[in-house]
Structure 1
Amino acid sequence: MSLLEILNNDMKQAMRNKEKDKLSVIRMIKASIQNEAIKLGKQELSEEEELTVLSREMKQRKDSLHEFDKAGREDLVEKLQQEIAVVELYAPKQLSEEEIAHIVKEAIVEVGATTKADMGKVMSALMPRVKGKADGSLVNKLVQQHLS
């Protein structure tokens, strides 16, 4: 079952249960996926492309959450935390920091990196493996730690 089909089923269920907040987030995700398909000129997105859209939605919400938190807007922070929880239902399971560190070590060995100058090579080998499963800033931090 594709992500779009899952979203449609969950959207119907949210309507039946009168879960307005969840319904709103599902509609936003669904619209983002459909807009991406239109932009790419496709009928349906591949699983990887859907994952990219989900990652983008999650990143936008986390960035906004950080900004609202800094501004002391607790009302908006709470709303965004609920939205993030809904988006996480559709995202793949996130890797732990230990799992990411293990993958980072493998990538460093694979590309033969020794200094921070090799960071670009490591990141390009690494990101396809962890796409959607790990926060990019955490991956970046771990690569820097292992290359220093």
Structure 2
Amino acid sequence: MSLETTINESIKTAMKEKNKVALDSLRAVKAQILLLKTEAKGADISSEQEIAILQRMVKQRKDSYEQFTAQGRNDLAEVEDAQMKVIEQFLPKQLSIEELEAEIKKIMSEANAESIKDLGKVMGIASKVLAGKSDGKSISEMAKKLLS
């Protein structure tokens, strides 16, 4: 089942349950998918593109949450956090720190990366292999840590 179909079913469920936070979050995801489809001129969008949309939306909400928390606006921060949790349900299971470290070590050995000079090579491979399983910031931080 495609992400769009899953989102539509979840929207129906959220409407029946009168879950405003979930409904707002799911409608935002649906809008982003429709926007991407429009840009693609009706072509099917890949699962990688769908994951990228979800990751971008989670990152936006995480950034907003941090800003609102820093400004003492906990009421707005709670809404962002709740929306982030709803959207994260549609992402693949995220890697733990230990799993991420193991994956990056494996990529480093395959790419013969030994120093920080090889960061670009490692990041290029890791970004593709770990797409949807971890965010770019975590991948980058772990790769820098392991290469230095």
TM-score, structure 1 normalization: 0.95
**Amino acid in structure 2 at the alignment position of 1:51:** I
Task: Give the aligned partner of residue 2 of structure 2.
Answer: 2
Note if contact 2:55-2:135 (Cα within 8 Å) is conserved in structure 1.
no
| Aligned CA-pair RMSD | 1.1
Note if contact 2:22-2:83 (Cα within 8 Å) is conserved in structure 1.
yes
SS at match of 1:90: coil
Structure 1 gaps of 5+ residues are: none
Task: Give the aligned partner of residue 111 of structure 1.
Answer: 111
Shift of 1:110: 1.2
Task: Give the aligned partner of residue 86 of structure 1.
Answer: 86
User: Kindly, what percent of the aligned residue pairs are identical?
Assistant: 36
Task: Give the aligned partner of residue 32 of structure 1.
Answer: 32
Within 2, Cα distance between the matches of 1:4 and 1:21? 18
Task: Give the aligned partner of residue 45 of structure 2.
Answer: 45
Within 2, Cα distance between the matches of 1:12 and 1:92? 22
Do residues 75 (structure 1) and 75 (structure 2) align?
yes
Shift of 1:33: 0.9
Q: Which runs of 4+ in 1 moved over 3 A?
A: none
Task: Give the aligned partner of residue 11 of structure 1.
Answer: 11
Shift of 1:42: 3.1
Within 2, Cα distance between the matches of 1:111 and 1:51? 25
Task: Give the aligned partner of residue 56 of structure 1.
Answer: 56
**Amino acid in structure 2 at the alignment position of 1:66:** E
Shift of 1:127: 0.8
TM-score, structure 2 normalization: 0.95
Per-residue CA distance 1:24-49 (angstroms, 9 max, x = gap): 11000010011011112234311111
**Amino acid in structure 2 at the alignment position of 1:5:** T
**Amino acid in structure 1 at the alignment position of 2:120:** G
SS at match of 1:133: coil
